[in-house]
Structure formats: C-alpha cells, structure tokens
Structure 1
Amino acid sequence: MNFDKNRNKIYTATVASSIVASALLLTPVQAESISFKDVSTSSSYYASINQLVELGAISGYPDGTFRPDESLTRGQAAKIIAQVLQLDGATATDPKFTDVPKSHQYYKAISALAESKIIGGYDDNTFKVNNVITRGQLAKVIAQAFELQPKNNEELPFTDVTDSYKPFVKALYDNGITTGTSETTFSLNKPVTRGQAVTLITRALNSVKDTEPDTTTSDTATFDLTIMHSNDTHGRVENAPKRATAVKEVRAENPNALLLDAGDANSGTLYSNEFKGQADLAFLNYMGYDFMTFGNHEFDLGSSPEGHQALVDFIEAANFPFVSSNVDFSKDSKFTGLFNDLISSEPENGKIYSGIVKEIEGEKVGIFGLTTAETKDISSPGSIVFENYIEEAEKAVKAFEDLGVDKIIALTHIGYDDSADYDNDLILAQSVEGIDIIVGGHSHTKLEEPVVVDTNTTGEAKDATLIVQAYQYSDYLGTLDVTFDDKGVVVDFEGKLLELANYADDPKALEILKPYKDQVDSVQNEEIGVSAISALENPRVSDEGNTDQLSVRKNETALGNIITDGMLSKAKQYTNKEVIMAVQNGGGIRASIGEGPITVGEAITVLPFGNTLAIMDVTGAELKAAFEVSVGSYPDENGGFLHVSTGTKVEFDSSKPAGERIVSITYKDASGNDVQIEDDKTYTIATNAFTAKGGDGYDMFAVAYADGRVTDLGLSDWENLVEHLKSIGDITPTVEGRIVDVAK
C-alpha cells in the first residue's frame, strides 16, 4: 500500500516504507554524481545532502550552491519534509494561514503537513513562512513526521528543554538523531542551518529504515486484508439490494475481502415479525457473508412457546459459520450439535464456533465473537448463559496465539461505548492484548473512520487495536483496509462507510426480496383487532403565526398519551428499577389513526422511524432542564415537545421566560401518591433511543448517554404501540391534563 495523507500510519517503521527500498542508501556512484559548489566531499553534510537530493527532496539554488550554513526557514522545512514523505498536497484541505495563499510556492507542502497534523500555525492564524525554524520547532516536526517515540522514561541530559518540547526532543535523542549542542544543552530557540536540518532529517529516515521489515527479500513481510462489515440491520431487508451492489463492487477490486456481520439482523420490522430472520438470512447467504456473531435480538423469541427454534432454523440455514466465544448454549438442547466451544480451522456452515482460523492468501487470520451480557436483561435468552467478555476474549486470543495466529479480529455485539457495567469495545481494546481489529455492533455507532486504541487501561502504550462500526439499518456498508507487518502488528489502515443510498439495487437481490415484500405489504393492511371509537388526531398548526391552534408539537394529545403509556408499560417489563414515567417527542409522532378498525400499517405510519425503546437514569435537575426545553418554544411548535405517560403531571408557566417556565413535575409512586421531582435525586425514565441520545437538542440526555446511563432495549416503537392498543381494547381518545400551562 502507498502511504499518503489519507492513510493512517500506526508506528514509526511505516512512514518511509514506500521509499526505503529505492532511496535510503546511496551507492558511491550515485553520490559522486551529485555536487554543489559549496559542499565538498569532506563536508560533514555531504552524505546527508546527497541522500535527500537523490530522494528529490532538495535541489539547491540556481547558482549551483546549497548554502548549508544559511538558516532554514519554516517554509523551506515544510517543503523538505513533505517531499521526503511524498505528500504533494494537491487535494489537501486549505489550512487558511493568512500569509500562505494558494499561489505561494510552499502552499501545497504546508497544506499537506497541516492536514496530517505534522505542523501547525500561530494563534494569529499565520504560519510565518519566512521566519527561521528553531531547533525546538524542527525537533517537534521531525518527531511527528516520522512518529518517533521516546524509548524509556529516563531524564534528558539537556537542562534547557521545556516541558512542551521534552517528548519530541527525547524521541530524537533516544533514536540517535540528535546529541544537542553540548552535553547539557539542546538550544531550543537557536536557528537551524540548512545543513544541520538535512542531517537531522536523514538520521530520522535512517532510524526508520533500521526498524523497517525487509520488504525487498520476502513477499510475505506485510499482509493486506480488506474487511466489509455490517451491524444492527434490524430487519431492514428493503435496503439489502443496495448493500449487495456495494459488496459486489468491493469484491471486484478485492476478491479475498472478508464480509462480517456483528449481529442484530433480526427484530424491528414486519419482515422480522413475519419471517423470523429468514428474510434477512436470504440476503446474508446471497451476499456471501463469511462470519456472523449474535446480537441480543437474535434471542428475542426465547420466551415463546417454540423457544429458540427460529434461531436454530436461522443458524442451520446459513451458508456460513457463526463465532461466539462468551455465549454458552449447552443448557438449551435445541443447540445440541450446533455449538462447538473450540477454535476451528475447518468450520462447517450452519454451526457455531468459539473462534475460527481463516486462511487468506497463505496468511492465517483468527476471528472470534462476543455478545453483550446485557442480553439477559433486555432479551429472552432463557437458559443460554453469557460469560465474562474480557475473560473469554483473553482465552480466545491465547488459543489463536498457541496456533501461531497473530492477526486477530473480534466480531462483537457489545457496543462501542455502551455501559461499562456490562461491556463495550473501548474497554475490550484497552484490556485484552493481541486483538488487532474489533468489528462492532449494538450501540448503533456511526464510526466514519476507525478508532485507534493504543493504550491499555493504565495508560501504557500497546499495539494498536482498530475499532469499526457501521451505524444501523443497512444505511451503510463499512469497509476497512489494513496492513499487518510480519509480526502481525497493524501498521497501516484506511476505513470508511459506504452510503448505500448512493448505490443501485442489485437485480437478483430485488428478485429475492419480492415474495417477502409482497407478504409484508399485505400484512400492513391487517387489522389488529382494536377499533378507535373516534379518530386519534395528530394536530399540527396549519397557519404560520396561528399559535392558538392545537399541535402534537406543543400540546398533550390522546395519541401521545397512548404511545407513552405503552412505552412505560413495556419498559417496566425489562428492568427491576422503578420507571417513573415515559416521554415521547412530538416530532416523532407523524400521523393520526382514523376512526374504526386499526391496522398494522396505521401504527407503522404513526411511528415510522424505527425508533427503539430505551430506559435512562437522570437526575431531577436534568429532568427539569429537559422539560424546560420541551416547553421553551411554547406557544410555537417544537418537535422536541415531550408527551408524558399516565401518572405524570407537568405544570409550566408560559408567561415566564424560556428556561424558567417549569412550575412542578410530579409522578405517581407505587402506592398511587403524587411525588414531586427533586433535583438531587436520580430517577429512571423511558423514552425512545433518538431522544435518549440527545436528539431535538436534549443535551442533558446526551450527557446521560455518554455517561453510560442509557440502556437501549431495542424494542420497536410501533410494535410496542400495537401491543398496547391490543391490551386496551377499543379506544376512546382522552386528554387528561398531563401537561398544563398555569398561565391560562
């Protein structure tokens, strides 16, 4: 792989790998062919200057001189470093230094280095391109350009190096690039001459070369691997034909690319309800997935009369094997013969393994799987047991290493930054040595580029682990290109998400979709067995400025009440905590339900976004702040206006300024008493995942989410609504005074 500004270098030896073989060492003939009037063969700078000339990094002046004793400017330094690293800057982002216009001779070099975070400017937004570069500044640039690190914790011998420059000077000193201007001084602020700069740069290059694997003698010194990945598609099979097109395009360029799924293919749509995962599986098989791990929703049907039969059918019909290291299926007889708690290099399709060794172009890659232990609380696993993910990951890594496998992928459904009380990818990466790549799911995180974890839980350096995740609902296909060195260490990578909306539907995949879609379309018209005695309205203000009109985005509605009551009832089934209320953003309620028999399609139209139910721990102060946002625009509409469940009463005063309107918030406790919310107490509420993550400007909820105080139950909002409507029977719309403006 070539190394350019769009790639992500992991360790020092990668920086110059594309130029080491051809240019780092000059032969005597080459050296003799290069000359400057003012650089004799006896000059201490002679070899260094010739080396950079041969690389095309320097060329001297038109009069045939190099001027080694002249001070080097910041612009000249940028040009030399950029040319050594082969960064042309043609497509680099403009750093917008006021003294470096696009017409400037050093603009491309400075832009390339600024985008790569190798150089920076000054507080006044200038680069000071013609100022001389100091020894301290050049030390920092070289250390960052070649990713040089200190080799130990010993103190520098130099007494004049400030703390801000110490790690960079130490890196140069430890790697033999500088000895200072004396035994005890480095002279941070002293200008660097052109000859001195060239010497330091070539020493850095040669330091890189000394640690670079020998790619000239072996084709296997590095190994390139391409991975495609998906997660949390949740029954959105309508998007699968576009995913199939993207997969084919990636495979056309790299036929050996791995295709992995991190779980939760099931649950959330009528396709899941009707076909119990078989519709999703049809596309996984068609696209040729290599491996999959289990999400929590794969276990949703465990409490049904048939138990996990649908999951067993899903596994057995798969044209690929499954990986699962921390899930013990042994106590459920339905999985007898399907589950093997071993590492296999010859896996069978339709079987589950703790880990699998896959040989790709003669190299062995290990893949193991993990599923969140939270599954026992948010799904229906029955007798299936979820073991400690750190312990099982360590066992898997050791098993691979004992087999001589040093390239290891964890395929996980534990969440990128999910609750630390259970498990998440960040903690996994920090805690378990030897995992090179984590392909994740569960938290529906949109990682537009891989996250690098290169420190352990105590902050000490470790080999890099890459974490990727591709959001949700088959909106994206994740891709990752990674290079390993001959010791199985990640040295280079590039990852991105392919937006599937930009792809055409694969014709064959459309044929596969048709029978499933036809059945789903017919089910949408099915009546759920409940009627609305009169219409459940979803009012909106029709005329701008007509604030007297009712609106779902500023007033309590009967439909909003029913939705939140269903959310509260469902949430209470999934936690032992006291859930005091449920809230639903008015902007998420998109349609009314007409008078008469209610259909599945109507419920989906009311809540069309595929939101899931979440429970969240918040303080009374945070809850009060949230309701200030809710009524802050009143009497104007606000998509974030919060409908509330039965037993909750919110009183506000619209005559007060926004942010000071909440008068009181109460809820009913288990004894039916009205209880006032107190600022310093913590409460558990239910809402949808969109709101729980801070949607509609609920920053206080975003903080709770970031703190790990949110649990996404993954339960479809429209399915919850249907279930609740059925529990009520025929519906008579009522408004109960749950949200009251005391100013009226």
Structure 2
Amino acid sequence: MNKRKVHRFGATFAVASAIVLAGGSVDAAEQWYTDVSKDNTHYEAIKALTDQQIIRGYSENQFKPGHSIERRHAALILAKLGDFEEPTDVADVLKKFKDISGDSFYAKEMATLANANVFKGDSNGNFKPTAALTRQQMANVLVNALDLEKYDTGKKVEINLSNVGESHRRGVQILANLGLTDQLSDFRPNEPVTRGAFSSFIHRANQLQPSDFTLSLMHMNDTHARVAEMPKAITAIKEVRNDKPDALLLHGGDVFSGTLYFSEFEGQADLELMNLMGLDAMVFGNHEFDLGDSKNGHQSLANFVKGANFPVIGTNIDFSKDPALKNLVSKTEFTSTPALGEIHKGLIKEVNGEKVGIFGLTTESTAFVASPGAVEFLDYKESAEKAVAYFESQGVNKIISINHLGFDSDPSVGNDLLLAQAVEGIDIIVGGHSHTKLSEPVIVDKNASGESKDPTVIVQADQYLTHLGTLDVEFDKQGVITGHAGELISLKDKVNDAEAAEALLKYSGKIDETFGKEIGATLEVDLPNPRSRGEENITESVRANETALGNLITDGMLEKAKEYDPKAVIALQNGGGIRNHLDKGQVTVGAVIEVLPFGNTLSLVTLTGEEIKNTLEHSVRNSPNEEGGFLHMSGMKITFDSSKEVGQRIQTMQVKMNGEFVDVEMDKEYVVTTNAFTARGGDGFKVLEEAYENGRVTDLGLDDWVNLRDHMIKLGTVKPEIEGRIIDLNT
C-alpha cells in the first residue's frame, strides 16, 4: 500500500541514492566536472541532474559526456525514474536472455525493465548489457519507460524516418512531436547515444511533467438538520468558489436528526437545500441510520439518497440485507461517473487534469449507537486499504477519505488519527462524528511505530453549520503533500443566499408554527450542553460530566416512569442523546425537541445491583475522555475513579429509597428507566442488550421530549443544579 516516492521522472527525483551514468562516484556537491564547460550543449541538463543527485561523474572528476551509454546503465537509470514493480524473482525474468543472469551487474534493474517490456533484447535472445544504446533504441525505451505518449497530442511533426528501423519509428516520431529532438532531417538512428545527449533527453522529458498541483476543497460535518443555517452556508460556498471555482465540497456525515426540521420532514428539507450547494460527495454518518427501527425502517434514508444530486458514499458499509437500501447500491463500486441515486464505495474526480480518489468511512460503532437494523459496518482499516489499493491501481496518487469516525474518538472502533497512522496513501481526511473544531489542519507524518510517512492532512469543521472549512493542499509530481493551508470560515454573520432562503420558506412556515410555541414553563438559568473543545473548554462535557440539564432530563424520566411503575427508582440518560442547550426564559416546543431530537421512547428494565454496576462501569470506561454512552442519572449517585483500570472504576453506588440514599445491593433487583435506544443495548451496553433479548425491557411508548416538556410544565419555574450525582475521585 505504500505510495511510491518516485513517479515518472518527477522534478525532484527523490531517490535513495545518486545514480551513476557509468563509472565513478564523485559527489556533485564536491566539485564540478572538468570536462563539462558552460559552453557544452548538454551543460544545463548535466548540471540540473547532478544538482538533483540523479547522475554523477567519474572518480577523476570527469563526466565524459561524449562517451556512449551502455544498455545496462540506461536500464539502471530508467528503473529508478519510472514507476515499475520490481519482479520477485529476478533470475527467472532474466532466463529469456542468453547473456545475462541473476548474478549480472544491474540484474535487478534489467529484469525490472524487461518485465515492463521496455527492453526486449535482440532476435537471438541477447540483452547485450554492455552494448551501446543506439539513438533509435533510446527513443523507444524513453517513450515506454516514461510513458511519454500521454503527452503526445497526436499532431505530427515532420521528421525523416526513412533510415529509422520500422520497430523504432513510433518512438522517434513521439520524440519529435514532443519537441524532445530537433534532428528532424536526420535523427542519426543507428549512432550510439552519448552520456551527454542521454542527460539532455531525460532533462527535456522532465519539463513535460505538469507543474505541482494544488487541490482546494470545502468541508462541513455534523450539520444535524440545521436547515435554517444552510442559506448562510451557501453564501459562503459561493464566495469560496468565486476565488476557487474548482474547489471540491465534501460533507462528513450526520445530516439526519437534531431539529424539528428532521422530526417533521425526515431529511427532505435538508436535501432540498443541500442540492443547491453543489456537493461533490457525502459520507453516511451514524445518525443517518437513526430510523432503522421505525415502522418504515430506512425508507427516509433511501428517499434521501435517491433525491440527492450528489454521491453518498459508504465504503465500509454492507447494505445487502436492508430492504430499503440494498437496491440502491451500484454494481460499480468505484467510479468516475457516479449515477445519482445510487450508493458507491468511492469516486474518482478529475480536477484540473489530475485524478483525485474519494472514499468514505462510517464508524463501526453505528451498530450500537444508532438503529441500523440489517445494515452492517465493516472494518474501517481493511476497507480503507482496499480503497487506496484500487485508486493506486488506477494511477491515482491524490486520495481523500471522508470519515465519520471522529478525530480522536474511542480507539476500539477507530478514529481519524489511527487511520492516518495505519493506512499509507491517504493524503487528506475530512472528518466528522466527534464535532471537533480544528481551527487549523492537523498533520500526521508518522505511523503507529513512530516512523516517518508521507503526510496526511486532517480537517474537521466543528458542528451544526457554525463554520465552513476550507483547505488548500499542494502536491508534488509524485502525489506527496508539500504544503497546505486551511481555515474555518464563521457562518454567523453571513447573509442568506436568496435562492436558498426562498427554498427554505417551503418548510420554515410549518416549523415556525410549531417551534415557537411556548410550553408554559420558565427557565431561571441557562442550561448549557457543553462538549469538549480542547483549549476552549478542557473540563466539562455532557459526555463526561454531570450537568444540570442531564439532571433535569433524568428527573423528568423518573417522574414519568413512576406513573407507570411505582417501583421505578433509577433513571439513566446517555449523554450522546442530549443534543442542545436550553436558554433562560420562556421555553418553547422547538427548544425542547432540539435537546432530545431522536424520537426515543421511555423504557423500563429490571436489573440487579451487579448489572447496574456493570452498566455504570461501561458508562465511565473512557473517562475522563468523552463518551456518548456516558450516563446521566436520577434516583442514584455514584463515585468513580478514572485513574483505575476499566471495569474497576466504580467506587460507590447509592440509590434513593424512601427518601434516603442507601448502598446498592449486588443481588437485589431494581426497576430502571432509560430511553429505548439505551435499553436495547445502544452505545454498547451489553447488559441492557441481554436484558432486552431476554424480554426484560418494556417500552412505554412515551416520547422523551414530551416527558421533558411535561416535567418542566409541572415545575413551572425551572432551576436545576449540579448536585454531585456523579463524582470522579481522580479530578
């Protein structure tokens, strides 16, 4: 999978050691050749190739430009400059020649060129390694070894071919067409090519290589039904395209779930606005699979894919068992002409004449953090390796992975950093899932063992369309990154795009009507919903700490559960399911829905004290790092120590019984309420999954946001606080 550092006579010729055009070993840096003056016809070429450490002279500080070059030395040079696979059995390849073997000087290089049909030998089966290479032979080997024909426009230059051997006329004609020779009246085809002339031919061929390439792109991720922000985003996209019309636009997944726009329109409002953006590709996020357990399964997702005027990619996803999605999977896994309404594993885009490979990975944790039903998620590293191998087999050396893995998320299911270290050949990672605000791109230039590797640039643009990310990446001729620049453009102060604002009206009227209704409760304090943001917020997160909002939600869950089963004593809510904050003042329907947007229902499950402990151990297994399965609670309080081994972190557990907190007893049973997603084993809660499979879970069918609304209405004046329900003893 390693990307080769030498492709097609690149400008820098990044070879491991200097190549000797026959003879000695004088370093270029030591002194110049005594027999090559500035008046020499080949001075410029010899100087350039010497400076690049492609050629050296003889030990007596001579280059001997007028000496002929032997065929074996030509093979040595071209094997280094071209992009060839070295044969595994050199001796076996050379059996076709009578005069060389695996023990010959430069056997590996001669075998490499013979294996690539660059050198074919004479009619008697001889390679003639020490024979001088003739000019017409040189024409053919240069054209074949360096793939010069791809630069030939087909417009023939008049050249005398009467004295050129028939098998060499194609090569000589191409050299003429490309301006690599001015010997048009007499190419002198049978004369030996000199060392100086060979240098000039290589140097001229190098000038044909396109200049270094800059790829520009825009990116967004985790937009979560923030349809109202899309007109501003479209304005920013158009502004970038005014300066960079060829910039790609990529989406890192999670369009579904998050606001009333999704609850009402299930992706269609998002789709109409996204179709105005000119997206080049989007990867499936885990929340695209939130409706798998609903009555209609993944039909809403299928409708989204079918209506998209951009490709939606799932490189590591198996849709074959899902009735709504399986027929949308293209028979062409990787394509340069994606069919709209179909799902592909990857794309090849042509940007300014350069091929760019794009594939997309979705977190394997989708299996337990969403409701994917029959959709399966494959190993992300293996899928990435296969994608890179395919692109490289097609001559693509600029490769983008759109990831919904998370920047530094749970390593047990993978993340961007681990992928960049593990899989060679990925140049750019456009991230999502962790909602990470990378104000500047992150560079990974070492593998997991700490060894140097070609750089990978990672970007991610926060969340909820607060920013549009931009990135410019410079590639050298070998497809290796040589420079980059990236930033996040704030969308807060952008004006709405007129066309997008008009399209939004189709949906916003219904949303405004419902969204703005006050529920009849007053919040006396702001209730933030913090996520870790590095230096901006290093201590608090809804996915790692007790929050006042988490307490309010779980109190409402427990209150509602007790109406159905008075034995209910504990409520648990996963932090990943709490999606927005609440502002001080009158609370509206829309605000409550945005806090709990996933349409979950309330469930009851009976667990032993030991099962509760195992569940809570899973909750804090990644502490103090963020974890979507971190559980907020009501009716109990715990202490844990994040410095201890996973599975041994919970120190105390107390449950409120008859108005007092008492220790949880390991063999006693307790009625617990949680949302249906968690109750079925979401977020990897194996204990709860087993309870569900054993028929111990009862779904009450009560919408979670309705429970929260009713609890706040009952309170009237709302002022929850952090009460020490969850304490990390290691902080």
Structure 1 residue 508: Cα displacement: 1.3
CA distance in 2, matches of 1:417, 1:383: 27
Structure 1 residue 264: Cα displacement: 0.6
C-alpha distance 738-356 of structure 1, shift in aligned 2 (>3 A): closer
Match among 297, 302, 305 for residue 312 of structure 1: 302
Q: Secondary structure at the match of 1:217?
A: helix
Structure 2 counterparts to residues 68-467 of structure 1, below 5 A: 217-218=207-208, 220-340=210-330, 342-467=333-458
C-alpha distance 432-650 of structure 1, shift in aligned 2 (>3 A): closer
Structure 2 counterparts to residues 449-528 of structure 1, below 5 A: 449-524=440-515
Q: Is the 8 A contact 1:568 1:582 kept in 2?
A: no
Cα deviation code 1:132-162 (max 9, x no counterpart): xxxxxxxxxxxxxxxxxxxxxxxxxxxxxxx
- Residue type at the aligned position of 2:451: E
Q: Secondary structure at the match of 2:485?
A: strand
Structure 1 residue 359: Cα displacement: 1.2
Q: Is the 8 A contact 2:549 2:720 kept in 1?
A: no
Structure 1 residue 557: Cα displacement: 13
Structure 2 counterparts to residues 597-608 of structure 1, below 5 A: 600-601=589-590, 603=592
Q: Secondary structure at the match of 1:405?
A: coil
Structure 1 residue 579: Cα displacement: 9.1
Q: Secondary structure at the match of 1:412?
A: strand
C-alpha distance 464-525 of structure 1, shift in aligned 2 (>3 A): closer
Structure 1 residue 538: Cα displacement: 3.4
Match among 705, 716, 719 for residue 722 of structure 1: 705
Q: Is the 8 A contact 2:219 2:250 kept in 1?
A: yes
CA distance in 1, matches of 2:673, 2:573: 6
CA distance in 2, matches of 1:493, 1:737: 46
C-alpha distance 737-365 of structure 1, shift in aligned 2 (>3 A): closer
CA distance in 1, matches of 2:621, 2:440: 37
Structure 1 residue 645: Cα displacement: 3.9
Structure 1 residue 567: Cα displacement: 7.1
Report the RMSD for the aligned CA atoms in angstroms. 5.0
Structure 1 residue 394: Cα displacement: 0.4
- Residue type at the aligned position of 1:603: V
TM-score (norm 2): 0.52
Match among 583, 586, 601 for residue 590 of structure 1: 583
Q: Post-superposition, which runs of at least 4 consecutive aligned residues in structure 1 deviate over 6 A?
A: 11-14, 213-216, 556-560, 567-570, 612-616, 618-623, 684-687, 726-730, 732-738
Q: Is the 8 A contact 1:355 1:368 kept in 2?
A: yes
1:538 and 2:524 aligned: yes
Q: Secondary structure at the match of 1:271?
A: helix
- Residue type at the aligned position of 1:648: M
CA distance in 1, matches of 2:623, 2:348: 49
CA distance in 2, matches of 1:609, 1:618: 21
CA distance in 2, matches of 1:458, 1:336: 39
CA distance in 2, matches of 1:601, 1:502: 23
Structure 1 residue 725: Cα displacement: 4.0
Q: Secondary structure at the match of 2:448?
A: coil
Between the two proteins, what is the percent identity of the paired residues?
Answer: 44
- Residue type at the aligned position of 1:590: D
Q: Is the 8 A contact 1:245 1:503 kept in 2?
A: yes
Structure 1 residue 256: Cα displacement: 1.1
Q: Secondary structure at the match of 1:492?
A: strand
C-alpha distance 222-274 of structure 1, shift in aligned 2 (>3 A): same
CA distance in 2, matches of 1:388, 1:486: 32
Q: Is the 8 A contact 2:283 2:314 kept in 1?
A: yes
Q: Secondary structure at the match of 1:445?
A: coil
CA distance in 2, matches of 1:455, 1:620: 28
Q: Is the 8 A contact 1:646 1:738 kept in 2?
A: no
TM-score (norm 1): 0.51
CA distance in 2, matches of 1:620, 1:337: 39
- Residue type at the aligned position of 1:515: K
**Higher Rg:** 2
- Residue type at the aligned position of 1:538: E
Cα deviation code 1:370-397 (max 9, x no counterpart): 0001111111100000000000000111
CA distance in 1, matches of 2:572, 2:424: 43
C-alpha distance 486-620 of structure 1, shift in aligned 2 (>3 A): closer
* Alignment match, 1:646: 634
- Residue type at the aligned position of 2:634: T
C-alpha distance 431-622 of structure 1, shift in aligned 2 (>3 A): closer
C-alpha distance 668-408 of structure 1, shift in aligned 2 (>3 A): farther
Q: Secondary structure at the match of 2:368?
A: helix
Q: Secondary structure at the match of 1:287?
A: coil
Cα deviation code 1:221-269 (max 9, x no counterpart): 4211101111001111111111111111111112111111011112100
Structure 1 residue 616: Cα displacement: 9.1
C-alpha distance 228-677 of structure 1, shift in aligned 2 (>3 A): farther
Structure 1 residue 333: Cα displacement: 2.3
CA distance in 2, matches of 1:461, 1:568: 54
Q: Is the 8 A contact 2:636 2:653 kept in 1?
A: yes
Unpaired runs of 5+ residues, structure 1, are 1-10, 15-23, 28-46, 52-212, 541-555, 571-577, 627-642, 652-663, 679-683, 688-718
